């Protein structure tokens, strides 16, 4: 090895080692969707992203216990909840067993005249008190009221009852043996709210681990099974599923590829070398992305590795072209012009992504560009150094003769393929189903059965997905509460008009200071109340002097301090309010959750009528779909531009319009055919498919360029065709295996690239320049 060559090798090793160290010490992988999604541009989107990242909904873990008799499950539910309530990882655990605590009771009792919605000027007149006393008597007579009687002397108008009614939600899960159950009583249900925010995956994972451990402890002698769902569980499950499947399937794919590569090249050393460019490319790409963005997103990593996958083809071209009598250097020099053009077109295509203002896309662009350039450089300057002289496989001459016969088949049947592609194009134009899948849930790599479990648990818990809400923003919590109170009457109207089923506003639980002061002012003077009560009490059988605690409490309430958010801290009450009223962007935000929205227009009008941009209606699903769509639209625009540039580069490279068409047409036709086939299979296209199609374009251009390069002699042509068959074969194997994955993302990428690669090869063969050399 010459000194210069040795220098190349040392330099290369040093770069890789540097990248590896950098990755190990510096690289921070982010996995939350918000790191990949575009910077939110509207207040709605900003709020949506913040809620996805750390909203209370994103912190819920839904727990189901099943596979045991109901009584046993109820017991397990109670012991599990008890254990978890002692942990500091949860805000609260709900399973139907917990009532108001005595502390909460007395808090509400103490503040009943400030919190009760019925307190006004007319509430304590003699006639109103008569009605209240009659009702009290009725309650006393009923078994239900009999034990309330110790509260009666202080609260004859039943104010505590009214306050509690506010807090009770109309629908809850079925109760069985004192615990929440699914309607068929086969599953006990619990809800946990974690302290860790949804994006803190490691902390969430520890939290989930704690639930599993606690369940293992309480269920040691039971047949019961634990099922979990919720955003954190999804995140963990998809991380696990992806890494499991990715490992397992890559391993299978790799073994198959090794078998194929070895059977052709007959050398373990070459098999090992074939992985070098890809490995080097990925290492450098991860390092460069980490340094330039301070983090790398998990999706960038996955997509980037997918896009860089085309680099596996580079060493195959080299290995196939090395002849017995020549050095690898000579071979790489021969194929380099074509390979260089192939790499350049792909890289330029991906380069367009660098200009995206979406962090995810820009990262992906940097990743793919650096990865491919590194892989190509490794193939050009490093691999030949490491290949022994005469590293040519004896099997190649005979195999390549067979190869050329195979690729002549599609050429002969090209009319048939033309018809097929035309049919696909027509189908795409008149397709009955939507082309794009914009549901953000479809981007989640969670298997369908997990999503089904989640829907089931939510339905059974009566906790439908939070979808629609009114969002209020202001400088202080008081201002938010006042906005809320302004809107409440209009919302009640909408409920009356059946435009929505119900709503859950923060001001119901925590009235603004203004309202509380108004209620205090409405409480009568002591003397007035005393006289009203005396009039009202005539001919009721209550013992005289019974209601002096009532007189005392009303008097005290007139001047007592107002209830504040901090009074509720650390109670179940506080939890409820915290979910609806919380600090947001150095200010405060409140949400009014809406149930059963029938008339979205009326709601948006209501928000607009407030005449301030501090209030807006938010439909989480629609908004998130719009973000995904915006993302995709920008990606498409950028890629469209990239493809245009690629066309020009190609034209400059091949200097012939007809060759250009022969290179480009099979790629376009393959993309159309794959899209049509995916739609027929019932898979609307998502971002994953798009990225996979981008890889198909890269691969397809390579095939076209190599098929249509000018060959010096027949041997050269035969070897080129064999190398293309090998490239396509390895791609189809790796991605075909990936298509078997249970994880939707992986299988989508697998199907798309597997099919695309096969189509590209067949169509490129069919439309190639038939050279007789």
Residues at the contact surface with other proteins, assessed by CB under 8 A = 51, 55-57, 60, 74, 92, 94, 96-100, 102, 105, 137-138, 140-153, 160-161, 164, 167-178, 191, 193, 461-464, 466, 469, 541-543, 546, 572, 575-576, 579-580, 591, 593
Sequence-distant (6+) residues with CB within 8 A of 217 are 83
* Phi (first) and psi of residue 187, to 5 degrees: -140, 125
Q: What's the closest the beta carbon of residue 543 comes to other proteins, in angstroms?
A: 6
CA distance 371 to 363: 12
Closest alpha carbon to 344 in 654, 732, 50: 654
Could you tell me the smallest distance in angstroms from the CB atom of residue 660 to other proteins?
A: 54
Q: How far is the CB of 469 from other proteins (least distance, A)?
A: 8
* Torsion over CA: 412, 415, 420, 424 (sign): positive
Residues 6 or more apart whose CB falls under 8 angstroms from that of 7 comprise none
**Measured from the CB of residue 218, what is the shortest distance to other proteins in angstroms?**
18
**Least Cβ distance, residue 457 to other proteins (angstroms):** 11
Which CB sits closer to other proteins, 173 or 524? Answer: 173
For residue 265, which of 380, 408, 383, 405 has the smallest C-alpha distance? Answer: 383
- Least Å from the CB of residue 482 to other proteins: 21
The two three-digit tokens of residue 680, written as one number: 């027929």
Determine the Cα–Cα distance for residues 414 and 665; give it in Å rounded to an integer. Answer: 13
Other CB atoms within a 10 A radius of the CB of residue 49 amount to 22
Q: Are 316 and 730 in contact (CB under 8 A)?
A: yes
Q: Please, what is the minimum distance in Å from the beta carbon of residue 317 to other proteins?
A: 54
Nearer to other proteins by Cβ, of 150 and 412: the residue is: 150
Distance of closest approach, residue 57 Cβ to other proteins, in angstroms: 4
* Cβ-based nearer residue to other proteins, 104 or 555: 104
- Helix, strand, or coil (residue 179): strand
Burial 704-741 (b: 16+ CB within 10 A, else e): bbbbbbeeeeebbbbbbbbbbbbbbbbbbbbbbbbbeb
Which is nearer to other proteins, 75 or 736 (by Cβ)?
A: 75
C-alpha of 54 from chain center: 13
**Residue 362 contacts by C-beta under 8 Å, 6 or more apart in sequence?**
293, 353, 354, 355, 356
Half-sphere exposure of 272 (CA within 13 A, CB side): 5
Q: How far is the CB of 150 from other proteins (least distance, A)?
A: 8
Rounded to the nearest whole angstrom, what is the least distance from the CB of residue 594 to other proteins in the complex?
A: 11
- Give Cα 205 to chain centroid, integer Å: 16
Tokens linked to 235 = 């995140």
CB of 297 to other proteins, least distance (A): 25
Question: What does the block give as tokens for 53?
Answer: 């990242």
* Residue closest to 387 by CA, chosen among 395, 378, 397: 378
Rounded Cα distance, 212 and 597, in Å? 37
Distance CA 231, CA 729 (A): 39
Least distance to other proteins from the beta carbon of 192, Å? Answer: 9
Q: How far is the CB of 167 from other proteins (least distance, A)?
A: 5
Cβ distance to other proteins smaller for residue 171 or 609? 171
Please, what is the Cα angle at 41 between 39 and 46, to 5 degrees?
75
Q: Is 370 left (phi over 0), alpha (psi -120 to 50) or beta?
A: alpha
Residue 112 near residue 161, CB atoms below 8 Å: no
Nearer Cβ to other proteins, position 144 or 601? 144
For other proteins, the closer CB: 115 or 678 = 115
The smaller minimum CB distance to other proteins, of residues 24 and 144, is found at 144
For other proteins, which is the closer residue by CB, 99 or 772? 99
Residue 52 or residue 474: which is nearer to other proteins going by CB?
52
Q: Nearer Cβ to other proteins, position 352 or 463? A: 463
For other proteins, the closer of residues 431 and 458 by Cβ is: 458
Bridge-based pairing of strands 90-94 and 187-194 is antiparallel
Q: How far apart are CA 194 and CA 665, in angstroms?
A: 54
| 416 exposure class (CB count in 10 Å sphere: 0-12, 13-18, 19+) | exposed
Cβ distance to other proteins smaller for residue 160 or 667: 160
């Amino acid at each position: 090895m010459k000194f210069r060559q040795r220098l190349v090798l040392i330099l290369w090793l040093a770069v890789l080692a540097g990248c590896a160290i950098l990755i190990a010490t510096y690289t921070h992988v982010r996995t939350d969707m918000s790191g990949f999604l575009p910077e939110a541009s509207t207040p709605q989107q900003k709020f949506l992203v913040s809620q996805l990242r750390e909203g209370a909904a994103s912190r819920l873990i839904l727990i189901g216990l099943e596979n045991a008799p109901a009584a046993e499950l109820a017991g397990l539910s109670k012991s599990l909840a008890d254990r978890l309530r002692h942990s500091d990882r949860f805000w609260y655990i709900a399973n139907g067993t917990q009532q108001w605590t005595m502390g909460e009771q007395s808090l509400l009792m103490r503040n009943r005249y400030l919190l009760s919605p019925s307190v006004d000027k007319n509430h304590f007149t003699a006639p109103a008190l008569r009605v209240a006393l009659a009702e009290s008597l009725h309650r006393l007579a009923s078994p239900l009221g009999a034990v309330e009687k110790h509260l009666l002397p202080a609260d004859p108008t039943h104010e505590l009852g009214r306050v509690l009614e506010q807090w009770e939600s109309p629908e809850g899960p079925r109760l069985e043996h004192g615990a929440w159950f699914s309607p068929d009583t086969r599953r006990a249900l619990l809800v946990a709210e974690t302290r860790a925010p949804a994006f803190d995956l490691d902390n969430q994972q520890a939290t989930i681990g704690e639930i599993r451990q606690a369940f293992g402890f309480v269920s040691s002698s039971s047949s019961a099974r634990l099922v979990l769902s919720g955003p954190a569980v999804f995140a963990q499950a998809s991380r696990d599923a992806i890494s499991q499947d990715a490992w397992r399937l890559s391993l299978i794919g790799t073994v198959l590829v090794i078998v194929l590569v070895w059977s052709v090249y007959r050398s373990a050393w070459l098999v090992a070398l074939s992985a070098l460019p890809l490995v080097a490319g990925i290492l450098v790409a991860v390092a460069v992305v980490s340094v330039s963005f301070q983090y790398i997103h998990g999706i960038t990593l996955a997509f980037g590795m997918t896009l860089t996958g085309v680099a596996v083809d580079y060493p195959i071209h080299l290995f196939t072209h090395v002849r017995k009598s020549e050095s690898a250097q000579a071979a790489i020099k021969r194929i380099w012009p074509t390979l260089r053009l192939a790499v350049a077109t792909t890289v330029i295509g991906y380069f367009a992504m660098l200009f995206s203002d979406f962090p995810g896309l820009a990262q992906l662009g940097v990743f793919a560009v650096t990865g491919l350039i590194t892989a190509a450089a490794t193939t050009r300057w490093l691999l030949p150094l490491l290949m022994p002289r005469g590293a040519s496989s004896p099997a190649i001459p005979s195999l390549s003769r067979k190869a050329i016969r195979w690729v002549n088949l599609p050429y002969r049947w090209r009319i048939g393929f033309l018809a097929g592609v035309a049919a696909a194009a027509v189908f795409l134009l008149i397709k009955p189903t939507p082309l794009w899948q914009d549901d953000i849930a479809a981007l989640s790599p969670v298997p369908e059965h997990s999503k089904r479990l989640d829907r089931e648990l939510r339905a059974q818990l009566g906790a439908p997905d939070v979808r629609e809400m009114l969002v209020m923003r202001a400088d202080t919590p008081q201002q938010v509460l006042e906005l809320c109170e302004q809107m409440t009457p209009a919302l009640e109207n909408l409920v009356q008009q059946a435009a929505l089923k119900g709503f859950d506003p923060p001001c119901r639980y925590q009235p603004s200071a203004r309202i509380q002061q108004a209620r205090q002012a409405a409480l009568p003077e002591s003397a007035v109340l005393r006289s009203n009560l005396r009039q009202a009490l005539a001919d009721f059988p209550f013992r005289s002097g019974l209601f002096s605690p009532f007189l005392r409490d009303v008097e005290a309430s007139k001047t007592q301090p107002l209830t504040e958010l901090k009074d509720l801290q650390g109670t179940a009450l506080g939890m409820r309010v915290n979910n609806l009223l919380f600090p947001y962007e150095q200010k405060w935000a409140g949400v009014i959750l809406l149930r059963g929205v029938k008339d979205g227009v009326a709601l948006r009008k209501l928000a607009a009528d407030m005449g301030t941009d501090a209030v807006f209606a938010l439909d989480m699903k629609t908004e998130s779909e719009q973000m995904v769509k915006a993302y995709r639209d920008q990606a498409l625009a950028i890629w469209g531009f990239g493809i245009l540039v690629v066309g020009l580069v190609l034209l400059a490279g091949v200097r012939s319009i007809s060759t250009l068409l022969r290179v480009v047409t099979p790629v376009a036709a393959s993309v159309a055919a794959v899209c049509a086939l995916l739609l027929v299979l019932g898979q609307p296209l998502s971002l994953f498919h798009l990225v996979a199609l981008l890889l198909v374009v890269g691969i397809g251009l390579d095939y076209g360029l190599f098929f249509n390069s000018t060959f010096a002699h027949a041997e050269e042509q035969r070897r080129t065709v064999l190398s293309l068959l090998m490239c396509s074969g390895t791609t189809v194997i790796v991605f075909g295996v990936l298509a078997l994955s249970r994880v939707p993302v992986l299988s989508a990428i697998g199907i798309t690239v597997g099919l695309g690669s096969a189509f590209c090869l067949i169509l490129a063969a069919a439309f190639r320049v038939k050279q007789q050399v």
